[in-house]
């Protein structure tokens, strides 16, 4: 409807923004905020505020700083539509030349050392099949479920848009752009193991500045990236979310164990940074808006994120190039 | 020392019950101090809640069908004061409800249907806001209680834009910016995007919330009207909001990858 803002985020809109935005908002505003390398999380005792129940207060808006979920092992690579690299001459063209691999961000996999998922041979073949048919999904299972408004799963949610963390006694709650997640800190037993969920069933605890989360009951229907990496229903995930002492950054580490698909464990590492009222608004990393109020202090808030019907086609991604 | 209830007090209480009986929710003495409170002294609604009102089967008084139980209704004055053309739309909704109910499309139930729908929801509360976490569709509604106002213009939200304030121990929430794509129950009662909803949340006792919602929508109704339900705290030891991404069920069979990569 004319003059109405549409905040019903559908993938068509998102992918459209992804394709067009680098020339407009990212290049002018986000360069410098977004990064090309992992910034190590400084170590040290928490010196930020604490909540009454003792949790480090890490509530607020956050975002991944590098790329998105297009390419798991080369997040600023040819399949990764990131803001880095020279602007495209034609924003509708996918022919942007990436920087050399050595100048791009490392693989999301910090372990093993080669940055690749330690797949069993059949699983590697399957991943290659998904990649081959990403833009030509001739079977339903080739459609990346994220394009159907499915949740991203434990790790991929952190590679997508900016998101919000809220904390309460006994809980840390993540409000992602596509799906939401409650981390129980209350020691409650996991759900019965036959209940498999998109975002799994999460139990966490604080170890100093690190939020340690055991995520079971994974249905593993979400892919780990648009490059087709996946795990099975037997996967368990241990996440170690390490905050810096002042709460400006955190490093997300997720170690996957899955004998059905893997030859050994692997760890996904994603750098994240706090989004504040000073962060440029790009409708990507920073999806917040200034709240309307009579006071002078800046208050930012995120609007409702509900992905429903209205999917556009799935193919609007950067083509695989040599 | 406990003061005995006098005959007059009893009479007043019974009279009160009789007068409010139309809504189906008996008035009880103010919850007073025996309710959970936050550090700011305000009532703390944190917990998992669910309505037993059956309102989702039909807001107005209705008899049973093969699918749904009967109900005495939750609407003050029994019937919703529809405009004539809106009444026609409701009849159309009713006739096509098996497919047209947004619930069957796995759309977010909306506000207030998500509150009295048949699945539980969890409230997380901070002084600045309340986070309502619904099981059906797993969406989150925020009720801001930090003095902020509705954004300018009209925004189409599934759950509306909620700004609350406290009147004593009652949370009063002003909700606007609806998308008009949700229904109010399974039998086709509905509102438009012009709805202005005012909710009143208050404790009856520490495990019961009285929820009252007043609807003002000149595009749909001839005058404002109200409904009232009670919400009960879920106390089972293993109760937990379990994600119900209903919209994913249509393509559930295609994922995950079968073991050893076998074909489907």
Note whether B105 contacts A309, CB cutoff 8 Å: yes
Selected residue with higher pLDDT from B22 and B150: B150
At B119-143, the pLDDT tens digits run: 999 999 999 999 999 999 989 999 9
Mean pLDDT in consecutive groups of 10 residues from the start of chain A, 322 residues: 35 36 44 81 90 96 92 82 44 58 91 97 95 90 90 93 96 94 95 96 96 96 95 96 95 97 98 94 89 95 77 41 32
> For position B263, what pLDDT does the model report?
61
Nearest CB among B46, B141, B147 relative to A295 is that of B147
Write down the pLDDT at residue B258: 87
- CB of B98 less than 8 A from some CB of A: no
**Cβ–Cβ contact A191 with B under 8 A:** yes
Least Cα separation, residue B82 to chain A (angstroms): 25
Question: B249 touching A, CB under 8 A?
Answer: no
Burial class of residue A209 (count of CB atoms within 10 Å of its CB; 0-12, 13-18, 19+): buried
pLDDT (mean) for B222-233: 98
B149: chain A residues, CB-CB within 8 Å: 291-294
Q: Which pLDDT value is given to residue B152?
A: 95
A48: its two tokens: 């930020």
Please name the member of A3, A173, A198 whose beta carbon is closest to the beta carbon of B131.
A173
B196 in A contact zone (CB under 8 Å)? no
The answer, for A168 touching chain B at a CB cutoff of 8 Å, is yes
The whole-number pLDDT of residue A29 equals: 59
Q: Per-residue pLDDT tens for B162-177?
A: 999 999 999 999 999 9
Residues within 8 A of B (CB atoms), A 239-268 only = 260-261
Cβ of B243 and A260 within 8 Å?
no
CB A305 within 8 A of CB A178: yes
CATH 3.10.290.10 holds for B43-253: no
Does A122 contact B at CB distance below 8 Å? yes
pLDDT-based confidence at residue B264 (cuts at 50, 70, 90): low
Q: Domain locations in chain B?
A: 43-253
Q: Which of A189-198, B9-18, B144-153, B217-226 has the lowest mean pLDDT?
A: B9-18
Chain B hits for A171, CB-CB cut-off 8 Å, are 124
Residue B236, chain A, CB below 8 Å: the answer is no
- Provide the sign of the torsion angle of the four alpha carbons B149, B151, B156, B157, taken in this order: negative
Longest dimension (CA), chain B: 77
CB–CB contact A291 B148 (8 Å): yes
Residues in CB range of A177: below 8 A, 6 or more apart: A9, A157, A160, A161, A162, A163, A287, A305, A307
Interfacial A residues in 53-112 facing B (CB < 8 Å): none
In terms of DSSP bridges, do strands A171-175 and A180-184 run parallel, antiparallel, or are they unpaired? Answer: antiparallel
Report pLDDT for A4. Answer: 35
Neighbouring CB atoms inside 10 A of A121's CB total: 9
Residue ranges per structural domain of chain A = 11-302
3-state secondary structure string, B178-229? ECCCCECCCCCCECCCCCEEEEEEEEEECCEEEEEEEEECCCCECCCEEEEE
Residue B14 predicted with pLDDT over 80: no
List b or e across A240-272, with b for residues whose CB sees 16 or more CB atoms inside 10 angstroms.
bbbbbbebebbbbbbbbebeebbeeebbbbbbb
Instruction: Name every chain B residue with its beta carbon within 8 A of the beta carbon of A148.
Output: 247-248, 251
> In Å, how far are A75, A147, A271, B39 from A231, measured between CA atoms?
19, 18, 22, 44
Question: pTM, whole model, 2 decimals?
Answer: 0.87
* A-to-B residue pairs, Cβ atoms closer than 8 angstroms: 151
């Amino acid at each position: 409807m004319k003059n109405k803002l549409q905040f019903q985020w559908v993938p068509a809109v998102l992918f459209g923004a992804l394709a067009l935005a680098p020339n407009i908002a990212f290049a002018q505003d986000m360069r410098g905020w977004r990064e090309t390398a992992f910034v190590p999380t400084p170590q040290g005792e928490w010196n930020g505020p604490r909540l009454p129940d003792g949790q480090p207060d890490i509530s607020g808006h956050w975002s991944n700083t590098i790329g998105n979920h297009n390419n798991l092992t080369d997040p600023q690579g040819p399949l990764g539509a990131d803001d880095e690299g020279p602007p495209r001459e034609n924003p509708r063209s996918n022919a942007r030349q990436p920087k050399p691999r050595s100048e791009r961000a490392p693989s999301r996999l910090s372990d093993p050392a080669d940055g690749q998922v330690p797949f069993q041979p059949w699983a590697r073949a399957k991943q290659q099949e998904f990649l081959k048919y990403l833009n030509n999904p001739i079977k339903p299972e080739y459609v990346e479920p994220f394009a159907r408004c499915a949740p991203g799963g434990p790790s991929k949610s952190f590679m997508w848009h900016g998101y919000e963390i809220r904390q309460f006694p006994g809980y840390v709650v993540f409000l992602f752009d596509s799906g939401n997640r409650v981390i129980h800190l209350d020691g409650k037993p996991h759900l019965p193991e036959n209940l498999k969920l998109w975002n799994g069933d999460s139990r966490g605890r604080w170890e100093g500045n690190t939020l340690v989360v055991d995520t079971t009951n994974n249905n593993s229907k979400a892919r780990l990236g648009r490059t087709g990496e996946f795990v099975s229903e037997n996967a368990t995930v241990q996440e170690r979310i390490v905050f810096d002492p002042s709460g400006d950054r955190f490093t997300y580490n997720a170690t996957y164990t899955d004998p059905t698909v893997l030859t050994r464990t692997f760890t996904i590492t994603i750098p994240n940074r706090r989004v504040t009222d000073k962060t440029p608004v790009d409708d990507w990393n920073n999806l917040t808006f200034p709240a309307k109020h009579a006071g002078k202090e800046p208050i930012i808030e995120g609007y409702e994120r509900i992905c429903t019907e209205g999917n556009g086609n799935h193919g609007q991604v950067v083509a695989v190039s040599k | 020392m406990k003061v005995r209830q006098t005959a007059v007090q009893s009479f007043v209480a019974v009279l009160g019950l009789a007068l409010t009986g139309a809504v189906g929710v008996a008035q009880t003495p103010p919850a007073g101090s025996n309710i959970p409170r936050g550090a700011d002294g305000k009532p703390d609604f944190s917990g998992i809640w669910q309505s037993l009102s059956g309102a989702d089967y039909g807001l107005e008084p209705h008899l049973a069908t093969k699918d749904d139980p009967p109900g005495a209704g939750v609407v003050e004055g029994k019937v919703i004061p529809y405009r004539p053309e809106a009444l026609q739309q409701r009849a159309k909704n009713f006739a096509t409800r098996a497919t047209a109910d947004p619930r069957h499309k796995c759309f977010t139930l909306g506000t207030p249907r998500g509150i009295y729908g048949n699945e539980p929801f969890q409230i997380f509360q901070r002084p600045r806001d309340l986070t309502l976490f619904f099981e059906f569709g797993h969406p989150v509604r925020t009720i801001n209680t930090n003095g902020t106002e509705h954004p300018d213009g009209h925004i189409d939200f599934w759950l509306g834009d909620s700004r609350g304030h406290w009147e004593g121990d009652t949370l009063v929430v002003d909700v606007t910016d609806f998308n008009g794509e949700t229904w109010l129950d399974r039998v086709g009662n509905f509102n438009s995007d012009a709805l202005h909803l005012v909710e009143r949340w208050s404790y009856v006792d520490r495990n019961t919330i009285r929820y009252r919602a007043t609807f003002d929508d000149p595009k749909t109704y001839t005058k404002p009207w109200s409904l009232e339900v009670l919400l009960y705290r879920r106390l089972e030891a293993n109760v937990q909001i379990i994600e119900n991404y209903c919209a994913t069920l249509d393509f559930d069979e295609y994922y995950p990858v079968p073991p050893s990569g076998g074909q489907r």
